[in-house]
């Protein structure tokens, strides 16, 4: 039987799982583990085709969630955009609204894009594709692991269950390349397959440790 992480220490990660985003996902995982939280995501369920029931369970059993809305543009010949991430964000917001006693929190991450010519230079680009988030101050990254660590660290640090004391943010940035190497080694040993448990174990090994 699987061990169940505690609700208060679980952070659901809702982000793209494509190769272009992989480094940023790893940045979220390392930061989350370093601050004592358990990153939960759909990859836990392995290869199963229909993951949504598992995702709903993960959202229900995680007090916190991080939703990256990076993939908001159309892709491929049919110019389709991916709706899974906004859908899961909606579920998280609904859970928070309907279960106020559980004190859930969610954070949205968006990429910081160059301003569109002719648009208001003081406005952020995300306000053009998800204007309902105006006033929510999403976490804005520059699509680099360092900027993702900065944003996730700054958010997780304000949560009640963060480990105290915490490792310094620059130490997490420094540990990131070693974390990536550990994942690559484990992936090679698993014949090229990335296993979520291996990613977690690599994060545990690489996370900067605090002395206390």
In the numeric block, which tokens belong to residue 58?
């993960």
CB 151 within 8 A of CB 109: yes
Tell me how far, at minimum, the Cβ of 200 lies from another protein, in Å.
4
101 belongs to the binding site for another protein (CB under 8 A): no
Phi, psi of 86 (to 5 degrees): -60, -35
Question: Of the two residues 28 and 159, which places its CB atom closer to another protein in the complex?
Answer: 159
In the numeric block, which tokens belong to residue 193?
């397959």
Question: Of the two residues 79 and 131, which places its CB atom closer to another protein in the complex?
Answer: 131
Count of other CB atoms within 10 angstroms of residue 5: 15
Beta strand spans in 27-126 (E): 38-40, 64-68, 105-111
61 belongs to the binding site for another protein (CB under 8 A): no
Which positions from 5 through 44 interact with another protein, judged by CB under 8 A?
5-6, 9, 33-34, 36-38, 44
Cβ contacts of residue 56 below 8 Å, gap of 6+? Answer: 91
Cα separation values, 86 from 40, 68, 130, 185, Å: 17, 9, 10, 33
Cβ contacts of residue 184 below 8 Å, gap of 6+? Answer: none
139 belongs to the binding site for another protein (CB under 8 A): yes
Which positions from 145 through 204 interact with another protein, judged by CB under 8 A?
150-151, 153-155, 157-160, 162-167, 169, 195-198, 200-201, 204
Question: Of the two residues 82 and 112, which places its CB atom closer to another protein in the complex?
Answer: 112
60 belongs to the binding site for another protein (CB under 8 A): no
Question: Of the two residues 78 and 209, which places its CB atom closer to another protein in the complex?
Answer: 209
Q: By the criterion CB under 8 A, which residues form the site for another protein?
A: 1-6, 9, 33-34, 36-38, 44, 46, 105, 122-124, 135, 137, 139, 150-151, 153-155, 157-160, 162-167, 169, 195-198, 200-201, 204, 207, 209-212
């Amino acid at each position: 039987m699987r061990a169940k992480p505690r609700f208060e220490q679980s952070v659901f990660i809702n982000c793209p799982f494509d190769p272009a985003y992989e480094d940023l996902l790893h940045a979220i995982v390392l930061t989350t583990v370093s601050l004592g939280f358990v990153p939960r995501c759909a990859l836990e369920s392995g290869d199963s085709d229909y993951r949504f029931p598992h995702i709903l369970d993960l959202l229900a059993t995680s007090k916190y969630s991080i939703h990256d809305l990076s993939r908001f543009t159309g892709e491929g010949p049919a110019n389709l955009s991916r709706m899974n991430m906004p859908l899961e964000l909606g579920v998280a917001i609904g859970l928070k609204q309907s279960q106020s006693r559980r004190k859930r929190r969610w954070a949205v991450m968006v990429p910081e894009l160059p301003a569109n010519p002719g648009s208001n230079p003081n406005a952020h680009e995300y306000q053009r594709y998800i204007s309902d988030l105006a006033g929510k101050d999403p976490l804005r990254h520059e699509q680099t692991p360092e900027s993702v660590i900065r944003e996730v660290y700054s958010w997780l640090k304000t949560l009640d269950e963060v480990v105290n004391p915490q490792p310094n943010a620059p130490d997490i940035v420094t540990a990131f390349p070693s974390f990536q190497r550990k994942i690559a080694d484990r992936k090679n040993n698993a014949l090229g397959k990335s296993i979520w448990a291996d990613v977690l174990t690599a994060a545990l090994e690489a996370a900067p440790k605090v002395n206390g």
